[in-house]
Amino acid sequence: MTPLVSLDDVLAFAAPEDGALTTVVPGCFSNGPAALPSEKGFPFGGLLAALCALSMRRGLGLETPLRTLSVQYLSAAVFDAPLAFRPRLLRGGRNVLYASVEADQDGRPTHHATGTYGRDSQTPPLSPLHRPPPSLDSLDAAATIDGPMAPHFARHVEYRFDGGPHILGGNAGKPAVERTWMRMRDGRALDETTLCYLLDALYPPAWTLDPAPVAMTTVDFRIDILADLTPETAPDGWAFFEFAMLDLGLGWTVDEATAWGADGTPLAVARQRRRLLPQRGG
């Protein structure tokens, strides 16, 4: 099995050089199944989204809260090769900032992202999404994902499913939905970087409908952060997530993910568009 490298090692960008922040993604962050070599998969999209957000914050010295991150995956990144992030401030302002980042490996574009940053203002809160999750202690700690089909990146995450996991046909004839508490296995606090990671840290919901699911790859991933991330809303780094398939057909699938704090505070929503990959003949 691929040696486990800490998330901190990947998030520790090298000193800026020629306007770029660089890092290397090791195979333990592969989206391929643990039973296969990491090279059978690609660097996990949630980690790449987290790196996009972090590179804009660090490279541009931003202190304003991130509100929206939108990532386009242009081509597959590879493992163990320098990945360069080149952030750019598009427009600054007192209340709203706009930034972007281009990422490449040896000059080959891998992904592009934009970030919207904004300060809070004192307006009356109204949150139809407020929904207290099931108690963490009420769920079986063994309700997790592991074994040969679990992706490499899942080794960094602690899961506690509400009625799942349903991967490989467990939701046949029912809505394609998975609900689970999640946190990083090292117990780190939930922040915008780890939230980006966790909002993609599950298999596609469509894979709960069929015991032989079709392969797919992410092309667009958008995250909207709705509330400040604090130890009170995410105690010990835990948050509750729901992943749901919205549409599947014509070679595409669209999924939605929602994250809640322990008290039911909605923390973030995300939407992901995936392209179904052609099936090879037998």
Per the domain annotation, does 229 fall within a domain? yes
Per the domain annotation, does 281 fall within a domain? no
Beta bridge partners of 21: 85
Spatial distance between the Cα atoms of 194 and 241, rounded to a whole number of angstroms: 13
Domain of 169? 7-120+131-276
Which pLDDT score, from 0 to 100, does residue 282 have? 45
Per the domain annotation, does 125 fall within a domain? no
31 in helix, strand or coil?
A: coil
From residue 50, how far is each of 44, 189, 197 by CA, in Å? 10, 15, 6
The structural domain count of the chain equals 1
Which pLDDT score, from 0 to 100, does residue 280 have? 60
Which pLDDT score, from 0 to 100, does residue 145 have? 86
Enter the DSSP assignment of 51. Answer: H
Spatial distance between the Cα atoms of 64 and 134, rounded to a whole number of angstroms: 32
CATH, residue 192: 2.40.160.210
CB-based contacts of 170, cutoff 8 Å, min separation 6: 164, 208
Name residues of the chain where pLDDT drops below 70.
Answer: 1, 279-282
CB-based contacts of 17, cutoff 8 Å, min separation 6: none
Per the domain annotation, does 181 fall within a domain? yes
Q: What is the pLDDT of residues 225-254, one digit of tens each?
A: 999 999 999 999 999 999 999 999 999 999
Does pTM surpass 0.95?
A: no
